[in-house]
Structure 1
Amino acid sequence: MTANSRRTFAIISHPDAGKTTLTEKLLLQGGAIHLAGEVKARGAARRARSDWMKIEQQRGISVTSSVMTFQKAYDGETITFNLLDTPGHEDFSEDTYRTLTAVDSAVMVIDAAKGIEPQTRKLFEVCRLRSVPIITFVNKVDREGRDPFETLDEVADMLALDVSPQSWPIGMGGQFQGILDFASGAVARPEGPSKEFLGRREENPDIPENFSEEAELAQVGYPEFDAEAYRSGDLTPVYFGSALKNFGIAELIDAIAAHAPPPRPQPAGEGHVAPDRDEVTGFIFKVQANMDPNHRDRIAFMRQVSGTFRRGMKLTPSGLGKPISVHSPILFFAQDRELADTAEAGDIIGIPNHGTLRVGDTLSERNEVRFTGLPNFAPEILRRVQLKDPTKTKQLRKALDDLSEEGVIQVFYPEIGANHIIGVVGQLQLEVFVDRLSVEYKVEAALEPAPFATARWIKGDRKALDEFESFNRANLARDRDGDLVFMAKSPWDVNYQVERNPELTFSATKER
């Protein structure tokens, strides 16, 4: 199999839209049930679990991204699907952004009954920032919902692109509860299994007389599907279905196989690296600690960009500068983790390590490439960490390093004062931090308000930085890389310092 047979895509949605159920049904349809973090089940009780952390299982939400792989044959060719499940909450939009750097397309899930909710917009804006082609799946059409035309118009307005319905619910909430598939000209009942078609009206008198009128109405005003427009990010094909009742899932997989792009070139410096480059290259977009609590493991997730990887080969991480041998690479495939003997561009490889690899690292054979576009974003909430047991200082430092590397938090070490400061985008991240601190690291800590509202990374010539530090030491900290950070008490404070120090750069993002 070559890189052209890969479809590496993410699933994004707001909470409760059915993303976890859809992920599970995609894996079942593809003949695979494994995903990162799963404890292998047996027999009929096997279920896909992308939500592997305790807090995810308790709340029924996703707060970390997972990687899953499955395959399906089409006309003699086997397509490998690399599915990346993303957090389903806006507080984890930074993790979603990093995940989207590793995919070539995305499936956007919308609840048919709720439409697009306010928190949905932030996640989808992240998707648009990456210019990722989007397939829209309107879920839960078997339930009473809003006018589907209204949902389509919302999608078009939010994403600023054309929508092209590929299947359609006919008479939602009215006389006829069914789905029209334009490709086959057939109608299926939502309450039945996928592809339980009623047939055409001339073949089946049970199809209502107003069927053709509603079908024609459904197509008016929306463009036909254009594969080039979709791949360029100007159009989204829309599929209607029900993940819970396994309706429309096969059609969605077929659409990804037929239309989603194979591996695309990735930005590196001022150019791009194409998937057909001979050299093996890739980048780390995620690091996950403690996926297996019994082994205290640490897995770096590498998106392979080019070349043919072979187990045991040496790659040089840009953050280390010397080659490492990748002896035990993991593919998250079938029913368990499997050693990756080979991998192609577009594949996601898990590399076990003990802190050698970090998010943003480029791996390559010749150490001549640097991939870009994996930034940190300025936090919107800052808190001081107060350790309850002073003897656990070492464990706290280890937890801060691990969780900041994963993107759960950012950590800052003040120039004055002993308490560490953590930064997050949303309140839920604080709850996840405290929960994982206790469960995984056996550290109890309290979070106290910090006298700061946001942070900015500072750059400039040495003389200007030294002068700025001498006057503002109480408002300065270092991040986990040792880079200087200005801790601002308010947005006004940021603007004031920017005006007073034109020779310095105060940045809300930092390239990892």
Structure 2
Amino acid sequence: MTDNAATAATEPAPTSGIAAQAARRRTFAVISHPDAGKSTLTEALALHARAITEAGAVHGKAGRRATVSDWMEMEKARGISITSTVLQFPYRDAVINLLDTPGHADFSEDTYRVLTAVDSAVMLIDAAKGLEPQTLKLFQVCKHRGIPIITVINKWDRPGRHALELIDEINTRIGLRPTPLTWPVGIAGDFHGVLDRRTGDFIRFTRTAGGATIAPEEHIAAADAHAAAGVDWDTAVEESELLSADGADYDREDYLAGRSSPLLFTSAALNFGVNQLLDVLVGLAPAPSGGRDADGNSRPCEAPFSAFVFKVQAGMDSAHRDRIAYARVYSGTFERGEVLTHAGTGKPFVTKYAQSVFGQQRGTLDTAWPGDVIGLANAAALRPGDTLYRDEPVQYPPIPSFSPEHFAVARGTDPSKHKQFRRGIEQLAQEGVVQVLRSDRRGDQAPVLAAVGPMQFEVAVHRMATELSAPITLEALPYQVARVVSAEDVDFVNQQFSAEVLTRTDGVRLALFSTPWRLQTFIRENPAVQLESLVAAEG
């Protein structure tokens, strides 16, 4: 090994209070393809950090608890994550800010917003399926943003592919060199424990009932490991030596530069290997280092307070109907009650109702430091992409929008709830649940909802009915692609076959076309009309 988790402890300790607090923080997201075990891993991490006493079983099963990070009724019913959540908890001397993200591709925009607020990511891979489409897409987002990645091969307690085959696939398909820190003892489906490649020890795991509690682990010296695990230990040692001979040992510089990825093997459902992941996050993952503003200038952690709003969520508490704006602290110290400045409007923003967030649970938050995520209640003035600061002005880069591929006209089913309908549609747009488009031709009572995936429409319909008391129906429109168009070309595009121009809530004019082929034909026949692509996640 060229580096290990102990390195962080030997580095000079920060001298200022802010820098010292920032050095304790680890702010990261868990990304994966749907059903790779992301929410289960999220809860297992909280369990091992003693933030909860019992892990929820697979959600959606009758009579079983749902995971703490999946709290919306639709999430519980479907057994998938459809919105991002924040879990903050202490572990050893560190403070973990874990951002759980939706796995489903239909909610890529929400995941992208979360990835603007983290310092590192855990990429979760199913041992049987390897790299999957959504994993690949999210990896490209991390690569584009320069986010270091720790890779976790999950579900090793189930039949799956060979470990070396998975390592080779990651290296070959995405050019990220895996550097395993642990290596499985036993093939996929027969998981005894792991070889800790940093110490040479055998870490043997013991199952617990339903994986609901922390799995006991026993550290066995290498000299005694063969007696404990037999030929499985010998195979693990041989394969580990092959990895070293191939140069697959951890290197901190390569990891932080995004050229390599520390890798571990786990079974999140059984809580196997979770302690090792927590230790790696604390020991190796980067601490907050400030942020870069919209002009590319660095703002250090010690600068006056600044934070970036990456998500707005309503419906967390049905009794209060409030909205929570999630803001990542980039610099300075946050004190509840102080008056901040909204960078976009220059108006003051009072933080009387600041909260800490743990899934759906909330508590009063008095102080926060760089890397922390604060929840600002009743934040009607805040939108994803907003910047808040104190004393020294700063504006962080806005969050790009995805190009929608699904479009539908929304109409209220109850004419007497006209005001609720308008407020509800406006709220969905502000939160980024869907993009909302309008035109004079269609009028305010028939806005067009635009989405990356159709499941966003299901969320919009559900929330309009259950939270916003304004049920709607949706009528699908025959469009598949959108491009930004200038004001002078609007009338011309509206005269074209299978095309229409609508204006998004933020004022951007979008030309909608029925198919990609129709768009290409229009571009070829009308070269003078300037159409621009919306910014995609991959950059």
TM exceeds 0.5? yes
Gaps of 5+ in 1: 35-44, 460-464
Q: Whole-Å Cα distance in 1 between the matches of residues 225 and 473 of structure 2?
A: 68
Q: Secondary structure at the match of 2:229?
A: coil
Q: Whole-Å Cα distance in 1 between the matches of residues 348 and 461 of structure 2?
A: 36
Q: Secondary structure at the match of 1:33?
A: coil
**1:338-388 alpha-carbon deviations (Å, 9 max, x no partner):** 322221111111111242111111111247321115111110111111332
Question: Measured at CA, do residues 209 and 404 of structure 1 come closer, stay the same or move farther in structure 2, by a change above 3 Å?
Answer: same
Map of 1:319-330 to 2, 5 A cutoff?
319-330=344-355
Q: Whole-Å Cα distance in 2 between the matches of residues 485 and 446 of structure 1?
A: 23
The residue aligned with 1:217 is 239
The residue aligned with 2:275 is 250
1:205 aligns with 2:227: yes
The residue aligned with 2:533 is 507
Map of 1:29-428 to 2, 5 A cutoff?
29-33=48-52, 48-73=67-92, 78-172=93-187, 177-192=192-207, 193-202=215-224, 205-209=227-231, 211-220=233-242, 221-332=246-357, 336-366=361-391, 368-418=393-443, 419-428=446-455
Q: RMSD across aligned C-alpha pairs, in angstroms?
A: 2.6
1:470 aligns with 2:491: yes
Q: Whole-Å Cα distance in 1 between the matches of residues 427 and 329 of structure 2?
A: 23
Amino acid at match of 2:532: F
Q: Whole-Å Cα distance in 1 between the matches of residues 367 and 68 of structure 2?
A: 26
**Does the 8 A contact of 1:400 with 1:411 survive in 2?**
yes
Q: Whole-Å Cα distance in 2 between the matches of residues 174 and 456 of structure 1?
A: 48
**Does the 8 A contact of 1:409 with 1:429 survive in 2?**
yes
Q: Whole-Å Cα distance in 2 between the matches of residues 210 and 432 of structure 1?
A: 47
Deviation at 1:174, TM superposition (A): 9.0
Q: Whole-Å Cα distance in 2 between the matches of residues 333 and 61 of structure 1?
A: 18
**1:116-143 alpha-carbon deviations (Å, 9 max, x no partner):** 2234322332332322111111111112
Deviation at 1:397, TM superposition (A): 2.0
Deviation at 1:417, TM superposition (A): 1.7
What is the aligned counterpart of 2:461 among 399, 414, 434? 434
Question: Measured at CA, do residues 487 and 227 of structure 1 come closer, stay the same or move farther in structure 2, by a change above 3 Å?
Answer: same
**Does the 8 A contact of 1:282 with 1:305 survive in 2?**
yes
TM-score where L is the length of structure 2: 0.85
The residue aligned with 2:477 is 450
Q: Whole-Å Cα distance in 2 between the matches of residues 174 and 159 of structure 1?
A: 26
Q: Secondary structure at the match of 1:271?
A: coil
Q: Secondary structure at the match of 1:295?
A: coil
Q: Which of 432-441 and 372-381 deviates more?
A: 432-441
**Does the 8 A contact of 2:342 with 2:389 survive in 1?**
yes
Deviation at 1:458, TM superposition (A): 3.0
Amino acid at match of 1:491: P
Question: Measured at CA, do residues 55 and 222 of structure 1 come closer, stay the same or move farther in structure 2, by a change above 3 Å?
Answer: farther
**Does the 8 A contact of 2:344 with 2:386 survive in 1?**
yes
Deviation at 1:396, TM superposition (A): 2.1
- State the identity as a percent: 41
The residue aligned with 1:40 is none
Question: Measured at CA, do residues 487 and 178 of structure 1 come closer, stay the same or move farther in structure 2, by a change above 3 Å?
Answer: same
Q: Whole-Å Cα distance in 2 between the matches of residues 433 and 161 of structure 1?
A: 37
Q: Whole-Å Cα distance in 2 between the matches of residues 429 and 335 of structure 1?
A: 20
Q: Secondary structure at the match of 2:460?
A: helix
Amino acid at match of 2:38: K
Question: Measured at CA, do residues 281 and 354 of structure 1 come closer, stay the same or move farther in structure 2, by a change above 3 Å?
Answer: closer
